[in-house]
Amino acid sequence: MKIEMTKLLKTLHNWLGFFISLIMLIVLTTGIYLGGADLFKRMDDKGQVYSALSHEDKAVIAANAMANYPDASGVKLPTEMHPYVDVYSRQQSVFLTPESDEIGTQVKSKDSLQSWMFWFHRNFQLSDPGKHANAISAIVATVIIFIGLYLWWLIRRGFKLKHTLPKNGKNSALIKSHIQLGLIFSVPLLIMSISGAYITYGAWGDSTLDDNRQKPTLAQAGDWKAQIVAAQKVWPNSELVSVSKPRKPEEGSYIYSLSFNGDNPLGLLQTDTINIDLYTGKLDSAQTFSDKGLAYQAKYSARFLHDGARMPTWYLLMLIISSVVGTLMVSFVLVTFVRKEVLGRMKTRAAFRLQN
């Protein structure tokens, strides 16, 4: 019975892997490009050296940026990862020194290579059908990884580290390398596949804000600087990293957001938010990551565990390396499967015909 089950699992692992291999190659290679682009962006410090800023300094930078660039959607403040000011909108980013001197601009375009790559990675440029095909493939990939781990466990004593890289192009060497690499990188590959599916099918959940919450006045109405300084005093030990304008202000109010790097188990960045009404100076809400409900936490975590955009650089680098390894693993599968199942069967049929 156990032998039959193992044979069934091997068959499922091989055939399911073959059918989604092309999709996986697309997702992995585009992911390498997108992750690499993010990594190079982090390496570009625009000639700036990071130095810690006081609450007042950050408030002055943000207030000046809002006043000098009224069409901007928000401002990202200097951090160790990006030691410059980024005044951004959908159309462009303007980069500034902490003293508000311009040091560069970047025009954003929907027709750029990075934008095309992102949507090709997300849905193969096929809108909703492509999005669901991608997510379903991620679920199948998760199943394949777990089956692969189980199959490795059955033959674990026969594997050594020297099998990690193939010595030659023979099927046996490629298969051993595929199995060993799958074991070593199983955790990041599972994170990418599970989070990829959850991005599509997970829900943000309902708001956890109390409708009867108090809304105290923090600072003078209409004063960006005073309000931002007051907001930082709510969480004095958290790092303010950005200030964002509302996308669609409601009539009679102008509620903008301040994002902070707070403490959370996964090391996610920009998780805590304070919302303030510019017109009244009143605090609208203040929520840490743990205040936002499990559904929101899961969706937010999936989003940034998948691409590493709001994670430390070491994590982003791990995703890139894992994607490169995943590409090799899928390539090994395609080569060995085609040799064995396609070319092998063709040779068998040809030999059978010759005999008859």
Residues 117 and 109: beta-carbon distance below 8 Å: no
Give a yes or no: residue 219 inside a domain. no
Q: What token pair was written down for 332?
A: 């090994």
168 lies in the same domain as 145: yes
The values of phi and psi at residue 85, to 5°, are -95, 135
Residue 162 reports pLDDT greater than 90:
no
Same domain, 122 and 184: yes
Per residue in 309-348, pLDDT tens? 999 999 999 999 999 999 999 999 889 888 887 666 677 6
Q: Do 198 and 121 lie in a common domain?
A: yes
- Same domain for 94 and 13: no
Same domain? 271 vs 287: yes
**Residue 237's CATH number:** 3.10.450
Same domain, 182 and 271: no
Residue 14 has a pLDDT of 86
pLDDT at 250: 87
pTM: predicted TM-score of the whole model, two decimal places: 0.90
132 and 192, same structural domain? yes
CA distance 134 to 188: 18
| Domain identity same for 126 and 192 | yes
Task: Identify whether residues 273 and 170 lie together within a single domain.
Answer: no
131 and 15, same structural domain? yes
73, 53: one domain: yes
Q: Is 27 part of a structural domain of the chain?
A: yes
Q: Is residue 1 pLDDT above 90, yes or no?
A: no
How many domains in the chain? Answer: 3
- Which residues have CB under 8 Å from 94's CB, separation 6+? 69, 72, 86, 87, 88, 102, 104, 105
Residue 331 falls inside a structural domain: yes
pLDDT at residue 161 in the model = 81
Confidence of residue 206 (pLDDT cuts 50, 70, 90): confident
| Domain final position from 61, 87, 107 | 107
pLDDT over 90 (residue 135): yes
* Residue 210 resides in a domain: no
Residue 313 to residue 216: CA distance in whole angstroms: 38
Judged against a pLDDT cut of 90, whether residue 210 lies above it is answered with no
Q: Examine the domain organization and report whether 172 and 64 are in the same domain.
A: no
Cα distance between residue 251 and residue 316, in whole Å: 41
Question: What is the pLDDT, as a whole number, of residue 292?
Answer: 92
- DSSP E strands in the chain: the ranges are 74-76, 85-88, 92-96, 102-107, 239-244, 255-261, 272-277, 282-287
Domain range for 137 is 2-41+114-204+313-355
Is 345 contained in some domain? yes
